[in-house]
Amino acid sequence: MTEDFANFLVRPAEISDSQRIWEIRNSPMVRQHSKNQDEIKFSDHQNWFQQQYFGNTGNLCFVLANAEGIVIGYCRFDFNQPNKNYRVSIALDPQYQGRGLGHWLLSQSLKNIPSQSIVLAEIKKTNPASLKLFEKNNFKTYQSDEFNFYLKYVGE
Ligand SMILES: CC(C)(COP(=O)(O)OP(=O)(O)OC[C@H]1O[C@@H](n2cnc3c(N)ncnc32)[C@H](O)[C@@H]1OP(=O)(O)O)[C@@H](O)C(=O)NCCC(=O)NCCS
């Protein structure tokens, strides 16, 4: 956890990041921890991504880029209009996991969402790294069931 992250930039996603986000989302390790574990076709992803983050939906997506500018992770905040809350979803390219970069990506992304936002996360009980990551970033478990923990961001 002593790595210097100055070379890793967190920035709002652009449409041109779609392919890298798709590649990361489709990696077997990331799919294993996703709600929908199916492999997604690029054409389906591309339409979804454009509509979801560039279509005035209130959804937000940030990416983490390495020193070469290659996108190695994403952090999405999907806005639920009726409930006025965001659901967060984060993933790193497996090659970059386990170095504290998830913490860097989540903490920087949280600084870029509107203040007072309600942010929720759903984490599989089989995903201890993710649970630790969210707890470290001030998320608290408010509910659990057989499969998942449900957490809420309680702010700085
Ligand atoms: C979840 C994810 C973003 C975490 O990012 P990361 O950079 O790999 O995680 P970090 O290196 O910051 O580690 C987070 C914490 O979990 C701990 N951890 C890692 N693997 C662990 C394991 N198998 N069991 C328990 N703790 C573990 C780390 O030690 C660290 O705790 P610390 O800060 O107290 O040392 C990343 O692993 C990932 O993309 N996973 C696949 C997708 C996913 O699970 N997304 C979350 C769905 S909600």
- Supply the CATH number for residue 17's domain: 3.40.630.30
CB-based pocket (< 6 A), ligand 1: 1, 29-30, 33, 89-92, 97-103, 121, 123, 127-130, 132-133, 136
Indicate the pTM of the whole model: 0.95
155 in a structural domain: no
What is the count of structural domains for the chain?
Answer: 1
- Domain of residue 34 covers 9-119
Asked if residue 88 belongs to a domain, the reply is yes
Query: Is 24 inside a domain boundary?
Result: yes
pLDDT over 60 (residue 1): no
Confidence of residue 6 (pLDDT cuts 50, 70, 90): confident
Residue 108 has pLDDT above 80, yes or no: yes
Phi–psi pair at 86, nearest 5 degrees: -105, 145
Task: Compute, in angstroms, the gap from residue 102 CA to the centroid of ligand 1.
Answer: 7
Nearest CA to ligand 1 atom 32: 132
pLDDT digits (tens, 9 = 90+) for 23-53: 999 999 999 988 888 999 999 999 999 999 9
For residue 59, is it within any domain? yes
Is residue 139 situated within a structural domain? no
Looking from the CA of residue 121, the nearest atom of ligand 1 is 48
Give domain status of residue 1, yes or no.
no
pLDDT of residue 54 exceeding 80: yes
CA 122, 103, 152: angle at the middle one, nearest 5?
A: 30
**Mean pLDDT score of the chain:** 95
